[in-house]
Each structure stands twice: as C-alpha cells, then as structure tokens.
Amino acid sequence: MKKIILLLVLGAIGFSTTTTAQKAINSVHFFDIKDGAMEKNYIASLKEINAIMKEIGFPKNYYSYSKLAASDTNSIYRNCTIGHWTSEKDYKTIHDHPKFKAWSTKNKDVLLMSNQLYRRFYDAE
C-alpha cells in the first residue's frame, strides 16, 4: 500500500511539473559594431549583465556574443547576441528587475548599434 501511495504522489508531482513547464526561448539580436573599442565595451557589458542575472537568482539565463568571420563578405548584421532564457516568465522578471534596468540605462550608449534586428524565437513543436 505504501508503494502505491508513493507512486501516486510521484506521478502527481511529475504530471504537474510537465503541465506547468514553460518552454525556453532565445532572443536574437543582429547588429553591426564598427570598431574594436566599441566591441570590447559591448563584451564587457554582457559579462556584467550575465553576472547580475546570476546574482538576482537566474544563473541559467545569459547572453552570448558571436560575430562573422573576417573573411565573410556580408556588409550588415555581422554581430549577434543571443539571449538564452529558461521561460517567458523569467525573461520578463529579469527585464523588469531594477538591477537589469539600471544596467540597461548605464550601458545605453554601448547597447545602441547600427543596423539592428531583434527577434524572440520559441521552440517549435
């Protein structure tokens, strides 16, 4: 009887976890950085916000930065930042947090890039 009760409790927990789970999302930001000093400042600001997200309790949410190879001939969208978010709820909570807003205001000049394109992507079912 104890085994049956334990299995029912574990099953109920598992079912409630799967029905309330939110899908992870990625934000993708394409842009252009014109010089090395600006790129250095941008990377430093991403390291700062990643540390802030860990500090406020969201260690699985972070930004990563990539760029095209120097040999690539594309003239726009040569740089890309991907935001890795565990859920839509966490995305909103982080972006509404006073520390995130303070970071954004402080880094406003660093974050404004030319030729920007921003999208949020959700896992396809």
The residue count of the chain comes to 125
Q: How far apart are CA 19 and CA 88, in angstroms?
A: 15
Please determine, for residue 117, whether its predicted confidence score (pLDDT) is greater than 60. Answer: yes
What is the Cα 121 distance to its own chain's centre? 11
Per-residue pLDDT, 11: 47
Per-residue pLDDT, 7: 37
What's the average model confidence in pLDDT over 80-95? Answer: 96
Please determine, for residue 105, whether its predicted confidence score (pLDDT) is greater than 90. Answer: yes
Number of Cα atoms under 13 Å in the Cβ half of residue 6: 3
pLDDT band at 22 (very low <50, low <70, confident <90, very high): low
Q: How far apart are CA 76 and CA 32, in angstroms?
A: 6
Give the start-to-end residue ranges of the domains of the chain: 23-122
Q: Is the domain covering 23-122 a CATH 1.20.1260.10 domain? A: no
pLDDT band at 110 (very low <50, low <70, confident <90, very high): confident
